[in-house]
Chains A and B, each alone.
Chain A
Amino acid sequence: MMAATRPAPMAFWQSLGPFHRIVVALSLALVALAVLAPWAAPFAPTDQSLMSRFKPPYGFDGAKDGFFLGTDELGRDLLSRCIWGLRLTLSLAFLGTAVGLLIGATLGLLAGVTGGWTEAAIMAAVDMQIAIPFTLVALFLLSMLGTSTLVMVLVLGIAGWEQYARIIGAETRRLMAMPFVEAARAAGATPARIAGVHLLPNLVSPIVVQMTLSFSNIILLESSLSFLGLGVQPPTATLGAMVGVGRDYMPNAPWIVLAPSLLILSVTFVVQVLGDLARDRADVRLRRR
């Protein structure tokens, strides 16, 4: 009863061990940094000062006041570009995840509710998507349709839909045999109503778990596409694009590559740990132990 009186976030925080507390704090900090980029970044991400290119970060010889992480190949502030890059990378990942969820959940529910040849067709598409190396598909789509943010979001969305469809399809099929669905159907509910009102609420936890897991995959995919030069166009920064450009200067200015790389590393790490945490909490069998 004590737990119920405390606000939910507090209860959640108290239930965590020290490691998870660090990770949760870090994730909040990263999201805050991304959301508050216009205020958090000391400079605009495209502000150049051509005469101070390749200035190293603080603590190294030749560092320039005001440029904490140093400057890049056009004298832009690396810290500001990292913050703006994080913002764009996270936004693309969120939107990509949302698109993937929308496609995957719709098709998964459709498959589970209708069954028959619809289900067979959808599951065949899922198997096909799993069988094809997705980076190749992404490269193909981006080179056909051109590199715009919209195309990028769609590509990132298509990247993960099959996982949602498979999990939701299987779960829906299981739920369809449950007595409460049976009862709803007997009461004359339409399939759409059954899917929306009776099934979806029961699918929330597997969906949340899958979202966190695919989120970091999407970040990595976005990074590799941008690294290959197929992401957003310069001078706009995403973390992957910064790594891609920075590799030319690795021997003389390694910080240009290191800063965004470390950010990608921490974001994917944090999201993975949160995903694990969510799965542990959601899975009844694990919770009992």
Chain B
Amino acid sequence: MTRLMTATAMALILASPALATEITVVAANLAPYVDPGRDHSNVGSQFYFNSFDPLIHKDYSKVEQEWQPGLATEWKLIEPTVMELKLREGVTFHNGEAMTADDVVFSLNRMFQATFPPYQVRQRDRLANFDRAEKIDDLTVRVIARQEEPLWETLLNLQQLFILPMDYTMGLTGDPKVAEDTDFEAFSLAPVGTGPYKVTEFVPSEKLVWERFDGFWGDKAPLDKVTVIHVPEVASRLTALKTGEADIATNIAPDQLAQIEADADLKAEGMLTPLFHVMIMNQNHPKLKDARIRQALSLAIDRDALNEALWLGKSLVPDSHTYEEFGALYMPELKTFSYDPVKAKALLAEAGYDGFEVTFDTQGSYYTNGLLAAQAITEMWGAVGIKASIRDLPKWSGNDPEMMTRNWSNPMYFADPFGSFGVMWAPGGPSESEGRFNTDDAYKAAWEKFRFGKTVDERKVAYAELMGFHQAEPAVLPLYRPYESWAMRKGVMWKPKAGHIPYVLDFRAGSVTVE
């Protein structure tokens, strides 16, 4: 017996170095491009953390923000609006270039002083307070803010401020000394960063392959190779898992969990993902201009019923656009959103609703349970007398003037009301710039107070005021904070970490082991 065990152990020891650790992930969605700066989607967020680093890292295992050195090793405010950062020595990009202050200044200024339109949206919605970055010497940079910034570390930790190589990017197309829009387009198909995995193959919307980057400055990656494949149907993802084709499957609806638990080889890991699935309404659609119609659309949706039925009660229905993670700024007492079909009917009658059809846009399997929720919501609208139909579109329609209502999500990009509500509903942010949401001077003034308020109380008062605007002129209804699950082989030790933005596939050292 002992001999057999020794032999087995020997065999394992001999065998393991030869066995490369490779895993395959089947994902419900795969990004059409990979550029952490322009992207803020739930699809892209899966990919950036393995290949890129921010200047300031954090402990991603917990919700509380505990900052750690990233590509910067020290940082301090030298003036109320100026932060100086010392860069880490000996960091190399995947293409072999050494990282210097030039790369950092380039990466930051491409966002702060954006010329490429997709960057401009991100600049306006979350980075507007940053004026510029400056090089002091090869390993020192300064970031200059326009006014005192309460969220320095939080913002420098953002995915949009991950660092990429200057010479490589500018040399991709045209003049190698100038950053053209086409350089950024090209970069998004052949991304290069400093993270523990390099992207070795990327087929837009189909496939992404990571391989371990041996020149990584931190703890080396635990996996040799990770292949992510786009498999939209949940049944196909589970089949791939069962046949051993895949090791991890993303976006598993609660309906499927029993089936995974029944399989001795599989398990599921889930969490209340820090984002809201929301229903948005186009304030500028001619037929939805009357706020009472939009109020009725919002009041007619029984979100608790959606949670009970589609999420088996595992999701969380919010009273306002607020997350527990906000700490002192968590404001469930606001009760901004509620279910009141009687009031909905009364408002419709008052507004003289004439039975016109309201369309609800959704995109197939993009959101877990998205199409089911769409059908349940239109049925709930039917119950208060609203004629509704679904448009199942292959693409985003939030910028289409014909769009009346649709599903969307508001992720929590960082644990502050500015990190979820603030980003999506900022004056000039993604909703307003797509022409389906309007802000006036009063809204802008309240927004400034909420964003830069010196005390928690000042910010809370301003936030309550903003929620009041959204109650009076509805453009969004947070439906629920979904319970998302990942299914995997029992031999894979992985789970989503609470400190990440939603859907990050974190395969760094300490985050995953494979038997």
A contact residues vs B (CB 8 Å cutoff): 46, 48, 50-51, 53-54, 73-75, 143, 229, 233-235, 247-252
Check A74–B375 contact: CB distance below 8 A: yes
Check B256–A74 contact: CB distance below 8 A: no
Neighbouring B residues of A53 by C-beta, 8 Å: 309
**Are A249 and B255 also in contact (CB < 8 A) when A233-B392, A235-B375 are?**
yes
Say whether chain B's binding surface is mostly helix, strand, loop, or mixed.
Answer: helix
Q: Does B238 contact A (CB under 8 A)?
A: yes
* Bound: A252/B238 CA distance, A: 12
29 pairs from A and B in contact (CB 8 Å cutoff): A48-B375, A48-B379, A50-B306, A50-B309, A50-B376, A51-B308, A73-B255, A74-B309, A74-B376, A75-B309, A143-B394, A229-B364, A229-B392, A233-B389, A233-B391, A233-B392, A234-B371, A234-B392, A247-B233, A248-B233, A248-B234, A248-B235, A249-B255, A250-B235, A251-B235, A251-B238, A251-B256, A251-B259, A252-B256
User: Which residue of the partner chain B has the closest CB to A143?
Assistant: B394
Give the contacting residue for B372; candidates A51, A74, A247, A252; CB below 8 A.
Answer: A74
Neighbouring B residues of A249 by C-beta, 8 Å: 235, 255
Q: Does B305 contact A (CB under 8 A)?
A: yes
Q: Does B258 contact A (CB under 8 A)?
A: yes
Q: Does B390 contact A (CB under 8 A)?
A: yes
Within 8 A of A (CB), among B265-312: 305-306, 308-310
Query: Nearest-CB distance from A226 to chain B (Å)?
Result: 12
B contact residues vs A (CB 8 Å cutoff): 233-235, 238, 255-256, 258-259, 305-306, 308-310, 364, 371-372, 374-376, 378-379, 382, 389-392, 394
Check A247–B308 contact: CB distance below 8 A: no
Neighbouring B residues of A46 by C-beta, 8 Å: 375, 379, 382
Check A235–B235 contact: CB distance below 8 A: no
Give the contacting residue for A252; candidates B255, B305, B371; CB below 8 A.
Answer: B255
* Bound: A53/B309 CA distance, A: 8
Query: Nearest-CB distance from B162 to chain A (Å)?
Result: 35
User: Which residue of the partner chain B has the closest CB to A146?
Assistant: B391
* Bound: A23/B379 CA distance, A: 39
Check B376–A252 contact: CB distance below 8 A: no
Query: Nearest-CB distance from B358 to chain A (Å)?
Result: 14
User: Which residue of the partner chain A has the closest CB to B391?
Assistant: A233
User: Which residue of the partner chain B has the closest CB to A244?
Assistant: B233
Neighbouring A residues of B259 by C-beta, 8 Å: 251-252
Neighbouring A residues of B375 by C-beta, 8 Å: 46, 48, 74, 234-235
Query: Nearest-CB distance from B226 to chain A (Å)?
Result: 26
Query: Nearest-CB distance from A243 to chain B (Å)?
Result: 12
Neighbouring A residues of B390 by C-beta, 8 Å: 233-235
Neighbouring B residues of A54 by C-beta, 8 Å: 255
* Bound: A247/B236 CA distance, A: 9
